[in-house]
Amino acid sequence: MDVVSYSSAASPLSLLLASSIRNPNRAFNFTNPFIQPSKKNSNLVLVSCIKPQKLGLKKLLNWKGKLEQHFPFGLVRIVVGVVLVMSVSVAVSRSPSLALTEENLLFLEAWRTIDRAYVDKKFNGQSWFRYREDALRKEPMKNRQETYTAIRKMLATLNDPFTRFLEPEKFKSLRLCCRHKHGQSGTQGALTGVGLSIGYPIGFDGSPAGLVVISSTPGAPAYRSGIMSGDVILAIDGTSTDTMGIYDAAERLQGPEGSSVELTILSGPETKQMALKRERVSLNPVTSRLCEVAAVGKDTSRIGYIKLTTFNQNASKAVKEAIETLRSNNVNAFVLDLRDNSGGLFPEGIEIAKIWLDKGVIVYICDGQGVRDIYEADGNNGIATSEPLAVLVNKGTASASEILAGALKDNKRAVLFGEPTYGKGKIQSVFELSDGSGMAVTVARYETPAHTDIDKVGVIPDHPLPTSFPKKEDDFCSCLKDSTSACYLNKIKLFSR
C-alpha cells in the first residue's frame, strides 16, 4: 500500500448504539435503528418518542380522546394502530432467539468500519444497511473462521480489490513491515525477495485477474530473469493468483535469502515457468548522471539525470543531494526518471514535489463528500524550481509517482515523456479490529491539480518516448548525443511542450 495509517475501530458497544437494544446480560438484539439511551438505566437503549410497553389501555384511550379534538378520528385510529404494532415489535425484538453472538459483534464491527470510512457512500450501488440485516440472518457465523468468511464476502460486494480483510497474523506482518507498496514492503533500505512490485490488473471492467507486475527492481532476480512491467503473475509456487491478495502474494514472494520460489508468468501471449532464488534486494532510491550534449555552435548543454526508483524514507533527502551534486557540476537542466517507480510513502512524494515547485497545488484528497484535503507547495522547500525539467513515465509509474508526475505536469513545471501511468488513484487506510485482525479500506482518492481523477486512467504524458529508449541510466546520454541512434531524443524537444 502507498498510503497506510493505523487506527482502532470503535468498540462493539459504540458500534451498536445506533442499531441495537442492549440487555443487562450483555446480549444484543438487532432492532429499530431510531433509538436513544434510556434515562432510567444506562444499560438499556429504548425506542425513542414513546414507550408503548408502559402505556396502559385506559391511558391509551384517553390519549386517543384528546387527539380527536385536533385530528380526524380515522387518523387517530391509524396512529393508535401504529403504537400497538410498535409495542408488539419491541416485544418480539427482545426474543432471545435474536440475541447477537460474539461473532456477530465482530462482523458488525467490520461493517461499521466500512460504513464510516469507505470512500464510496453508495457502496457499489447497494443498500449497506440492508446488507447488514441480511448477513446477520443468513450468513453462518458459528466460529471465527466463518465470521472471517462473512467479512470477506461483505467486502467483495464493494468490487474494490484494494479493500481487503487481513487475518491477525497477516495484519501483524503488515504492521511490522510498517508500509506496503503494491505487495512489496519497500520503505526501508533493503528486503529479501525477488525484487517485484505487484498490483491488481486494471482492465476496462476493473476486475482483477491474477497479479500484475508494476515494476521490477533493476539488478534483482526478477529483473535479471526478464520479468517486465505489465507481465502477469499467474501462480506462485503452483498456487493460482486469481483470487490471491497482494499481501498474501508479498509473503509468498519474500523468504529466506537463498531459497527458491517458482513463478508462472504471462508475458504478452507467452506463458513462462521460472524458478527464482531470493536475494537481499537493495532499495537505494536515487541514482544520477551528468550528461553533456552539444548545443548550437560551441555551446554545450549539461543535463542532470536523476532516476528515482521508490519513495522510501530516504527518497526526498536523496533527491536533494543528487540535485546539489549535479548543480556543483553546472547543470542547466534536469531529467527526472519515474519509470517503473511503483510508489511508496505518500509524504515523501509530497516533499519531492515541493523540491521542484515554487508554489501551487500538489494533490487534492477527495472522499465521498468531495475535496477533503489539499497539499500545496509554498516555496519554502523549493531548491530546483527554475531549470528546465523533463519527467519520464511509463505504465510502471504508480501511486505516489503519479501524484508527483501529475503535480509537475498540471503546474506546467515539467514536460512529461513516455506512456500513460498505471492509474492507482485511491488511498487506503488500515483499521484494526478488536480480535487483532484488520482491514485495508479505500478511504479517499487522488485528484491532480487540474482535478483529474487518474484512477484506472493514469497520468497522460505530453509526448511519447522512442520505443527503444533505455531504462538504464548509463545509456541515457547516448540517446541525446547520437542523432543516428534509434533512441535519439532531440534535446530541444526534451524541454519544450
Give first-to-last CA distance, the chain, whole Å. 33
**Complete edge-to-edge strand list for the sheet that includes strand 99-100:** 20-22, 28-30, 99-100
**C-alpha cell, 431:** 483499521
**C-alpha cell, 334:** 534536469
Query: What is the full DSSP assignment across 278-341?
Result: -EEEE---EEEEEEEEE-STT-EEEEEEEEE--B-TTHHHHHHHHHHHHHTTT--EEEEE-TT-
Residue among 185, 229, 316, 399 flagged as catalytic = 399
Residue 399: active-site member: yes
* Chain length of the chain: 497
Closest CA to 451 of 339, 369, 366: 366
**C-alpha cell, 56:** 396502559
Closest CA to 109 of 410, 443, 439, 338: 439
CA distance to 157, 320, 428, 495, per residue, from 403 (Å) = 28, 18, 15, 20
Residue 342: active-site member: no
Residue among 170, 354, 395, 424 flagged as catalytic = 424
E strands, 320-369, in order? 333-337, 360-367
Q: How far apart are CA 310 and CA 183, in angstroms?
A: 13
Active site residues: 399, 424
